[in-house]
Amino acid sequence: MTFDPPLSPALLPAGFVDLLPPDAEAEAEGTEILLAVFGGHGYERVAPPLLEFEDSLLSASGAAVADQAFRLMDPDTRRMMALRPDITPQIARIAATRLDGAPRPLRLSYAGQTVVVGGGVAGQSERQIGQAGIELIGPDSPVADAEVVCVAAEALSRLGVPGVSFDLTMPLLVPSLIDGLGLSAATRTALMHALDRKDAAAVARYAGSAADTLIALLNAAGEADRALAALDAASLPAAARAYSERLKASVDSVRVRSPELRLTVDPVEFRGWKYHTGVCVTVYAAGSREELGRGGRYLCNDNEPACGLTFRPGALFRAAPRRARPDRVYLPFGTDSAFAQAVREGGRVTVAALEPHDRLDEEARRLACSYIAQDGNLLPVV
């Protein structure tokens, strides 16, 4: 008979981690900076629950992420519940119910944790993923698209994230172009996979009369002006042309508001959450291989236009420069409380001794303090 060795108390399920000092503090402070920027533009904070009944959480736009949700049974009601894999569908529920009578445009912000069955973003293994974002509900216009992008850009600037770029796409454009080609289901699937892989040779093999157009658009991905020029020059059916014009109008609106913002466009990109219905955006930064956030246009509760963007704080704060931590001041046992309060109000952190110590410098160094409070002064630890 064999016995499994006891598990270490520090062992966590795959995809879950403990966030330790100073990372936990940096993420919390950075999230508050994001929310402060959002609030400054009129985005009011809401806080939906981590757990909801399955039939409400995973309905409407939430159905698109149902396969990523952990489920469990409520022992009281015997109804199935689910942990949220994404906060955006919850915001849609709140807007359509609790805030149905609130004036539009409705601007909401949020921050919280989500839990997914598998990694929520390609190449990432996390299953507990922080989110912080904004939703603009009511208007359906390029100006509204631009507001979401530019508010997000301001938040990144406030955090000091370097080399930010926003990649704009229109996921409905390629399907609308392909719909008129009369392709079999198998050929259509093969063509979509080829476009997803950016495989020009396979696109040429499967796209028939649209091959030249799709390859030209495939090769145009990158700087916004070049990509939009390729869209202008392309022979597109009416539906695809309408999507192309909306994408161009949104880019133009962003440039009016934030002319220095780096924008890229991928004309054939069609990935994203399944509930997206218009212009979508993915956020990147120089030196980071992760998506910092993503968002786009969708129908709130399946009937009201909305646009939003969700950051992933974990990835965001790995890309941002680490903020300087405040000096730590060691308070010997019995230090005057009013003086200690003044030190904290001056922006420093105090670490109070809970009993007398003879070697103050030694104790201060052990507790990572740079100063010692003595006789109403702060003395450097040497």
Contacts of 14 (CB under 8 A, 6+ apart): 125, 127
pLDDT of residue 42: 98
Side chain identity, residue 240: A
Distance, CA of 13 to CA of 72 (rounded, Å): 17
Predicted pLDDT of residue 374: 94
Supply the pLDDT for residue 346. 96
Q: What was the pLDDT predicted at 140?
A: 96
In three-state form (DSSP H/G/I as H, E/B as E, the rest C), the secondary structure along 84-145 is CCCCHHHHHHHHHCCCCCCCCCEEEEEEEEEECCCCCCCCCCCCEEEEEEEEEECCCCHHHH
> Within its chain, how far is the Cα of 201 from the centroid?
34
Question: What pLDDT, on the 0 to 100 scale, is given for residue 125?
Answer: 81
Specify whether the CB–CB gap between 372 and 361 falls below 8 A: yes
Residues of the chain with pLDDT below 50 are: 120, 122
Helices 224-233 & 238-257 angle (0-180, nearest 10): 150
* CB neighbours of residue 75 within 10 Å: 6
H/E stretch holding 72: strand 71-73
Residue 78's identity, in one-letter code, is R
Model pLDDT, residue 137: 97
